[in-house]
Copies of this chain bind each other. A is one copy, B any other.
Amino acid sequence: MLEPIIENDLINSLAGKFCRCPQQKNLLHESDSEIINLFENSGEYLAVTIDSIAEEIEAQLYDDPYLIGWMTVMVNLSDLAAVGAETVGLIISEILPENSSNYFIEKLQTGIKDAVEKCKTFILGGDTNSGQGLILTGCALGKCPKNKILKRIGCKAGDILYSTGKLGRGNAYAISKLFSTRHNNFHYLPSARLKEALIIREFASACMDTSDGTISTLDQLMRLNNLGFYINENLENILESESLKVTKSMGISPWLLLAGEHGEFELLFTIPSKVEKEFLKAADSDSWNPIRLGFVIEEPKIKLELNKKVTCINSQRIRNLPFLTRGNIELYLKKLLEYDNELIQSGIK
């Protein structure tokens, strides 16, 4: 029996009252975007998702208006990519503080503009309110052939676990930005993996984006599929090189780049082994090099090879940390480092 996840319980309690829409093709938690059978006689589903940038601004993790605008677009497009959808466009609600300068708003809008152009999509409309603090909410619309839609569920033991790219940049940015004076210009401007998703949707058995970090993503996939993951690749091959440098210079265990809650917006997905070759060929034709992480196991556990020893990660503990530390980032990092220390002390590591 897996221990509960506070976020899942919160979502269950908020959504518990509501009836499901008969046209909706996903259950709660089952996919990164909502999947709607909008037109019965169409060959495509509508995919829709909403995501606000609020806590990251509050925590001063995002203070550059360009990045805030960019992320408002990308976090939502990443959720579309994770279900295999092609983007149609976004609508955005902006809560702007009364005292926002023209320069600030200009940078915010440029971040939004550059992000939609990068992903060849459009802003369809929006709403503006004034408020005490800056909050941006994006809502992305996409479409996907009905037989190609990806969910978080569907993987089987033996399936191969991949990532669209190397991991850790989200957390390397967070520790640089909040805890380091030396690395405070660490570049973070992730792009939604919409192009790769078109290949993934042809082969994958499950998919989810790493918006909350790799371990949290694997924990959610583990719970939904009642299966586990064994990451047997060397961390040096999985983790992004500049991010590794940050952890080394700050004396932090590299695997914590997978544990922190600030994601890199890659897609984690599982490929049935019998189509792996074909998948890799398709990726190669597109000059894309997916990162092999490990494979799906029967036991609902997350296992990492740390210092050549198999370590079972308490992903529930990691995933509940942001809720238990309630926005206190110093405490959050302290607790994460404590867990790492326990692993070392216990000799498992």
> What sequence of 0s and 1s flags, for each residue 1-39 of chain A, a beta carbon within 8 Å of any chain B beta carbon?
000000000110111011111011000000001101011
Nearest opposing residue in chain B for A56, CB measure: B129
**Residue A266 at the chain B interface, CB threshold 8 Å:** no
A130 to B324, CA, bound (A): 13
Of the candidates B17, B116, B135, which one forms a contact with A109 in the assembled complex, judged by CB atoms under 8 Å apart?
A: B17
Q: Is the CB of B88 within 8 A of A129?
A: no
Among B10, B48, B122, B131, which residue has its beta carbon within 8 angstroms of that of A124? B48
| Known contacts A19-B122, A38-B38, A128-B11; A135 and B95 CB within 8 A of each other | yes
Asked if B18 and A122 sit within 8 Å, CB to CB, the answer is yes
- For this chain, the copies found in one complex come to 2
Q: With A24-B122, A38-B46 in contact, is A131–B128 under 8 Å at CB?
A: no
Interface residue? A78 (CB, 8 A)? no
Give the distance in Å from the alpha carbon of A131 to the alpha carbon of B326 in the complex.
Answer: 11
CA gap between A39 and B38 in the complex, in Å: 10
A239 to B38, CA, bound (A): 39
Which residues of chain A from 130 to 184 have any CB-CB distance to chain B below 8 Å in the complex? Answer: 130-133, 135, 137, 139, 141, 143
Chain B: minimal CB distance from A14 (Å): 6
What 1/0 flags go to A109-129 for Cβ under 8 Å of B?
110110011000111111111
Q: Chain B residues near A135 (CB, 8 Å)?
A: 95, 131, 135
A54 with B137, Cβ < 8 A, contacts A18-B116, A34-B125, A109-B17 known: no
Q: Are A131 and B58 in contact (CB under 8 A)?
A: yes
Given contacts A17-B110, A105-B14, A135-B95, contact A39 B44 (CB under 8 A): yes
Task: Say how far A320's CB is from chain B's closest CB, in angstroms.
Answer: 14
Select A58's contact among B58, B88, B132, beta carbons within 8 Å. B132
Q: Are A50 and B125 in contact (CB under 8 A)?
A: yes
Contact partner of A141 (CB less than 8 A), chosen from B36, B98, B132, is B36
16 residue pairs of the A-B complex, CB under 8 angstroms, read A13-B105, A14-B128, A17-B110, A18-B123, A19-B122, A21-B88, A21-B122, A38-B46, A38-B143, A48-B141, A52-B129, A54-B95, A54-B130, A58-B131, A98-B326, A135-B135
Pairs of residues from A and B, 3 with the lowest C-beta to C-beta distance, nearest first: A21-B122, A34-B125, A54-B129
